[in-house]
């Protein structure tokens, strides 16, 4: 299995809305993506958020580490999610891969409706400390 490191950012605004992006495949998630070879996690999440949303961020503490084995493409993914805050930029999709079709701020309730599985996996319905979880093996249909 090929190891893939992925980063994402959990960003709240002053009104407690969460920044989410809609992938061209139709699902909503938090901005982020693959860490490039030789890249450290913090610069990777800053780059990914800038590409997908147009915002410049400051990375704060770690939110979670999740581990998933994707059976279809034989990837072993570690997903590092960080709390972050916006320090500049403006909403604008700059994604060179053209994977993102929409960016928006949503309430906690709307985030849960847009991606209930992610909302649950990240334990956003309750206050938590940083955590690790093994999410098991997945196939394309999951």
Res 1: pLDDT: 84
- Strands (E) in 14-126, as ranges, are 18-23, 28-29, 32-34, 55-70, 75-89, 100-106
Res 71: pLDDT: 82
3-class DSSP state for residue 94?
coil
Res 46: pLDDT: 98
* Structure-token pair, residue 100: 């993102």
Active-site choice (29, 67, 102, 135): 102
Res 124: pLDDT: 83
Res 140: pLDDT: 59
Q: Taking the domains of the chain in order of start, what are their residue ranges? A: 2-130
Q: Annotated catalytic, 85?
A: no
Contact 71, 138 (CB under 8 A): yes
Written as tens digits, the pLDDT of the chain (142 aa) is 899 999 999 999 999 999 999 999 999 999 999 999 999 999 999 999 999 999 999 999 999 999 988 888 888 999 999 999 999 999 999 988 899 999 999 999 999 999 998 888 888 876 567 877 787 777 655 5
**Euclidean distance between CA atoms 123 and 47, whole angstroms:** 25
Q: CATH 3.90.1860.10: does it fit domain 2-130?
A: no
């Amino acid at each position: 299995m090929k190891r893939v490191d992925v980063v994402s950012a959990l960003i709240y605004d002053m009104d407690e809305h969460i920044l989410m992006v809609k992938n061209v495949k139709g699902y909503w998630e938090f901005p982020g993506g693959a860490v490039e070879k030789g890249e450290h996690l913090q610069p990777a999440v800053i780059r990914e958020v800038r590409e997908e949303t147009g915002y410049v961020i400051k990375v704060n503490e770690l939110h979670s580490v999740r581990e998933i084995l994707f059976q279809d493409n034989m990837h072993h993914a570690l997903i590092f999610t960080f709390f972050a805050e916006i320090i500049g930029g403006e909403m604008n999709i700059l994604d060179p891969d053209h994977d993102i079709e929409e960016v928006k701020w949503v309430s906690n309730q709307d985030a849960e409706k847009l991606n209930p599985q992610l909302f649950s996996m990240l334990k956003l319905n309750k206050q938590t400390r940083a955590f690790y979880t093994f999410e098991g093996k997945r196939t394309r249909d999951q």
